[in-house]
Each structure stands twice: as structure tokens, then as C-alpha cells.
Structure 1
Amino acid sequence: DAPAVVVFRRTEQGFVREVWQELDAVLPLPEIAIDLPLAEIYEAVEFRGEPEDDDSSFSEAELMQ
């Protein structure tokens, strides 16, 4: 288990996918003029533990679900 936020933003060229996966990351939401820390999104969530290796990030398929 790990934090993850995926946002699709509309641009003139189409949609752009943005991913945040760290609790210390901040999700910018300029459309509503706020910056939302992932730590606030997940403040009531307890993760099972630290990843055992550096290859623990979500795969493309997992993030698209």
C-alpha cells in the first residue's frame, strides 16, 4: 500500500497525466487556487509499512485503474 494521486489536466493539446506518489508531495490545483498536500489526503490512512525495495512504485496499469 502506498499513496498515489493521478490527475488528468485538459490542455490545448489534449489531456496531460500527472502522478504524485509521495506523502510529502503537494498537489497543485490552480483551478481552485489551492495546493493540497498528499499528507492531508491520506491523513486517516495507515499504510502497511515501508516498501522493501526501490521498485515499489505503481505500474502504469495500476494507476490507470
Structure 2
Amino acid sequence: MLSVNKEKTSETDLFKAVIEAKALLNPLGFILAEYTSYVDTSLAPCHYVLFWEIKGKKGKHCKGLDPK
């Protein structure tokens, strides 16, 4: 359970969002391999931070990172 300022996000809700993101990445040739999350309270307003490990499907390679 993630919680920011009395707002609670269940693991189920987070997992649903990850599944939706996976569905968006798939047609682009990417796979969401792993993810983790935490609540960042160092800035106002507090917010959730998600880290995703995204891999290219076999034969798909990233030519370079987007500087943005």
C-alpha cells in the first residue's frame, strides 16, 4: 500500500496501472520487465515515484537515449 497525504493506493490499483502501461509498450516493441515504487515526501506536494525496467523485444535495440 502506497500512501500520500491520506490518499491510499493499493497494490491492486498500482498493478492495474502497470498492466495498462505494458499494453501500451507492447506494440512499440518494448517489454516492461520489472518495476518498483515509493512515496517521495521530499517535495510538496508529495508524490509517487515509479521506476520501470523497460527492455526491447528480441531484435529491437535502442539507438540512443532521449535527452528529455
Structure with the largest fraction of helix: 2
Same fold (TM over 0.5): no
TM-score, normalised to structure 1, is 0.26
Structure (1/2) with the larger strand percentage = 2
Larger radius of gyration: 2
